[in-house]
């Protein structure tokens, strides 16, 4: 299957288990790999037959407005559901990187889901 990838989209979401960790938004990097057959779009040079990656990125940039999550696991599941339902990907892999442990480059959770 063909893939369309948004690599390391920088967002700021309120996330963390302790209440005090969710007080201020944290920098996260999202990588979204969307599976979709792009042959029809390519043949007609037609955006309506593919996944509009700009629209996906704008949706995810706004996802955190007025929201919070405790777990990265909950967040990646929600993002995967949005991409499958709203953007009609055949399958999606979502990875979220969080920069919370000073001694580690990052912590990440990634999942793959099919529509």
Q: Is 86 helix (H, G, I), strand (E, B) or coil?
A: helix
CATH of the domain at 83: 3.30.1130.10
pLDDT tens-digit readout, 38-71: 999 999 999 999 999 999 999 999 999 999 999 9
| CA gap 74, 111 in Å, rounded | 11
pTM: 0.96
Residue 84 · residue 66 · CB < 8 Å: no
Domains in the chain, number: 1
pLDDT tens-digit readout, 91-112: 999 999 999 999 999 999 999 9
* Domain membership of residue 19 as a residue range: 3-114
**Residue-level pLDDT at 1:** 87
| CA gap 8, 88 in Å, rounded | 21
Q: What is the DSSP letter of 61?
A: H
């Amino acid at each position: 299957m063909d893939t369309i990838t948004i690599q390391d989209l920088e967002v700021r979401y309120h996330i963390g288990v302790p209440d005090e960790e969710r007080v201020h938004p944290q920098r996260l990097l999202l990588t979204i790999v969307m599976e979709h057959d792009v042959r029809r779009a390519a043949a007609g040079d037609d955006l309506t037959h593919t996944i509009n990656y700009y629209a996906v990125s704008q949706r995810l940039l706004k996802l955190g407005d007025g929201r919070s999550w405790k777990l990265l696991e909950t967040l990646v599941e929600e993002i995967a559901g949005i991409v499958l339902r709203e953007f009609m990907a055949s399958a999606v892999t979502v990875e979220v990187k969080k920069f919370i442990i000073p001694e580690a480059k990052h912590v990440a959770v990634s999942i793959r889901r099919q529509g």
